[in-house]
């Protein structure tokens, strides 16, 4: 029987990581994977995470019991406040329900699974992703049987947002589609709508009775300002939308492998809101139980300790500024070095884009040339992880790009 199983291709990103590890060149540069690195290209344990970890380890009452199905209650309630704001009308009116998940991926999956079963169950709806998007979106939603399409997002010409293309595509999508939106620091482009543009996007989504699904994997990591990075989600909630949010703590806490995340369902204001939330929560609990039974505890305990303590929270915000600030510095350095070198093309997009990634506009051919000639590893679509650049390699990288572009 097993001979009917076809060989699947290797995950491109994890394949790239393996190729980087095999390369023995001392100057090699890893700009592939989306994980923060310090100025010495080393993983960075946030000092506040280290403190929380030490506190947890000293706790004589810490044990390894199961968490409840919905996860650690202090963690999910702090997560709601973080993304929605403590004063959110949705929290005051008990219009939100949240479950701890296996990081952001698990949150996207739980939301997708829930929608596949309960969102217009008798008339199949299409999910719309930005073109391009985080590639896992395609797999996660198609694994639960939802058909997908894409809306234009990135303008190759301006290396910014194709706003008109995005809006007209959402406008012409069949009524009641699911629209997946990156809350901030869009992956892979680093291009976000402005607040004015978000308002227009909300208007179109409302007019077409679409269902917004926010994916937020970079709150605080993008701009260093937690409220600013949650602005779009909070705006949609103020506007009364029913929506889902998939929240990841991988990047903003550096808790990648601990898999701390949260899924939120928020319903619209109305007299039946509490009953809706209670019914939704009961179904989400069944789905969660059948998939993971209950979520992993340790990462959520760390995040919860920080989120629920004023002093630790302030330290976390300072750590976020360290990460986002270093990345912003690298954007400036890369742009100015390319401009100094007179590398053909415009490079303002490097500093206009935000967050972990930059869509450089380099072609697949140039990307492969960079890998062969200069041992620089990046994805074929020209995306670089800004966190892989540092004061020791940014000039080397700029010169390598210059060479590849001029070739
Ligand atoms: N969504 C987006 C857009 C992402 O970039 C990521 C991280 N690469 C995730 C979700 C989820 O990642 P994780 O499961 O590690 O939290």
Q: Are residues 177 and 34 in the same domain?
A: no
Q: Are residues 86 and 37 in the same domain?
A: no
Q: How many domains does the chain divide into?
A: 2
Q: What is the pLDDT of residues 336-381, one digit of tens each?
A: 999 999 999 999 999 999 999 999 999 999 999 999 999 999 999 9
Q: Which residue has the tokens 């303002």?
A: 348
Instruction: Look at residues 278, 308, 338 and tell me which one is the last residue of a structural domain.
Output: 308
Choosing from 250, 254, 258 the residue with most ligand 1 atoms within 8 A of its CB, the one to mutate for a pocket test is 250
User: Is pLDDT above 80 for 2?
Assistant: no
Q: Is the ipTM of this complex over 0.95?
A: yes
3-state helix, strand, coil in the chain (%, to 5): 50, 15, 40
Q: What is the pLDDT of residues 52-63, one digit of tens each?
A: 999 999 999 999
Q: What is the pLDDT of residue 155?
A: 95
Q: What is the pLDDT of residues 229-244, one digit of tens each?
A: 999 999 999 999 999 9
Q: Are residues 188 and 217 in the same domain?
A: yes
Does residue 68 belong to any structural domain of this protein?
Answer: no
Q: Are residues 197 and 163 in the same domain?
A: yes
Q: What is the pLDDT of residue 368?
A: 93
Q: Are residues 38 and 87 in the same domain?
A: no
Does residue 151 belong to any structural domain of this protein?
Answer: yes
134 as an active site residue: the answer is yes
Residue nearest to atom 9 of ligand 1 (CA): 104
Shortest-distance atom of ligand 1 to CA 182: 3
Question: DSSP assignment, residue 43?
Answer: B
251 as an active site residue: the answer is yes
Does residue 349 belong to any structural domain of this protein?
Answer: yes
Ligand 1: centre distance to CA 107 (Å): 10
Q: CA–CA separation, 327 vs 265, rounded Å? A: 32
Q: Are residues 268 and 295 in the same domain?
A: yes
Q: Which residue has the tokens 């305990």?
A: 301
Q: What is the pLDDT of residue 3?
A: 85
Phi, psi of 253 (to 5 degrees): -110, -5
CATH number of the domain within which 39 lies: 3.90.1150.10
Q: Are residues 136 and 281 in the same domain?
A: yes
Q: Are residues 264 and 392 in the same domain?
A: no
C-beta separation of 159 from 130 below 8 A: no
Query: What is the token pair recorded at 18?
Result: 């393996």
Instruction: Look at residues 283, 308, 333 and tell me which one is the last residue of a structural domain.
Output: 308
Query: Could you tell me the residue range of the domain that residue 387 belongs to?
Result: 11-44+324-406
Residue nearest to atom 10 of ligand 1 (CA): 104
Ligand 1: centre distance to CA 199 (Å): 25
Q: Are residues 39 and 83 in the same domain?
A: no
Q: Which residues contact 351 (CB under 8 A, 6 or more apart)?
A: 331, 332, 335
* Stretch 310-315: mean pLDDT: 98
Q: Measuring from each residue's beta carbon to the nearest atom of ligand 1, which residues come in under 6 Å? A: 34, 103-105, 108, 134, 182, 187, 215, 217, 248, 250, 256, 261
Q: Are residues 298 and 375 in the same domain?
A: no
Q: What is the pLDDT of residues 10-43, one digit of tens each?
A: 888 888 889 999 999 999 999 997 899 999 999 9
Q: What is the pLDDT of residues 264-279, one digit of tens each?
A: 999 999 989 999 999 9
Q: What is the pLDDT of residue 383?
A: 93
Q: Are residues 90 and 15 in the same domain?
A: no
Burial of 154 (0-12, 13-18, 19+ CB in 10 A): buried
Question: DSSP assignment, residue 6?
Answer: P
CATH number of the domain within which 150 lies: 3.40.640.10
pTM for the model: 0.96
């Amino acid at each position: 029987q097993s001979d009917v199983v076809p060989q699947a291709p290797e995950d491109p990103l994890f394949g790239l990581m393996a190729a980087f590890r095999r390369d023995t060149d001392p100057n090699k540069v890893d700009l592939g994977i989306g994980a923060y690195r310090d100025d010495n290209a080393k993983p960075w344990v946030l000092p506040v995470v280290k403190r929380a970890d030490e506190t947890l380890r000293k706790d004589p009452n810490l044990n390894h019991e199961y968490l409840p199905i919905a996860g650690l209650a202090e963690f999910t309630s702090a997560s709601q406040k973080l993304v929605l704001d403590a004063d959110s009308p949705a929290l005051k009116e008990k219009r939100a329900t949240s479950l701890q998940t296996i990081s952001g991926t698990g949150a996207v999956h739980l939301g997708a699974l829930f929608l596949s079963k309960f969102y217009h169950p008798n008339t199949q709806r299409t999910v719309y992703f930005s073109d391009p998007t985080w590639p896992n979106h395609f797999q996660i939603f198609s694994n639960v049987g939802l058909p997908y399409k894409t809306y234009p997002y990135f303008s190759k010409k301006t290396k910014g947002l194709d706003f008109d293309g995005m809006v007209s595509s959402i406008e012409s999508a069949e009524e009641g589609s699911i629209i997946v939106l990156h809350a901030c620091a869009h992956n892979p482009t680093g291009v976000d709508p402005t607040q004015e543009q978000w308002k227009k996007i909300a208007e179109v989504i409302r007019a077409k009775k679409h269902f917004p699904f926010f994916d937020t994997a970079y709150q605080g990591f993008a701009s260093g300002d937690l409220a600013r990075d949650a602005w779009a989600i909070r705006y949609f909630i103020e506007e009364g939308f029913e929506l889902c949010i998939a929240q990841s703590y991988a990047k903003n806490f550096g808790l990648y492998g601990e898999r701390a995340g949260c899924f939120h369902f928020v319903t619209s204001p109305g007299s039946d809101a509490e009953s809706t939330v209670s019914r939704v929560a009961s179904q989400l609990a069944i789905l969660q139980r059948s998939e993971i039974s209950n979520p992993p505890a340790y990462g959520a305990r760390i995040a919860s300790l920080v989120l629920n303590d004023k002093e630790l929270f302030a330290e976390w915000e300072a750590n976020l500024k360290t990460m986002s600030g270093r990345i912003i510095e690298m954007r400036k350095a890369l742009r100015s070095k390319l401009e100094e070198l007179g590398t053909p093309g415009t490079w303002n997009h490097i500093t206009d884009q935000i967050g972990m990634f930059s869509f450089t506009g380099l072609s697949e051919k140039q990307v492969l040339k960079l890998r062969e000639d200069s041992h620089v590893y990046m994805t074929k679509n020209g995306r670089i992880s800004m966190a892989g650049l540092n004061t020791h390699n940014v000039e080397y990288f700029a010169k390598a790009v210059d060479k590849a572009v001029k070739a």
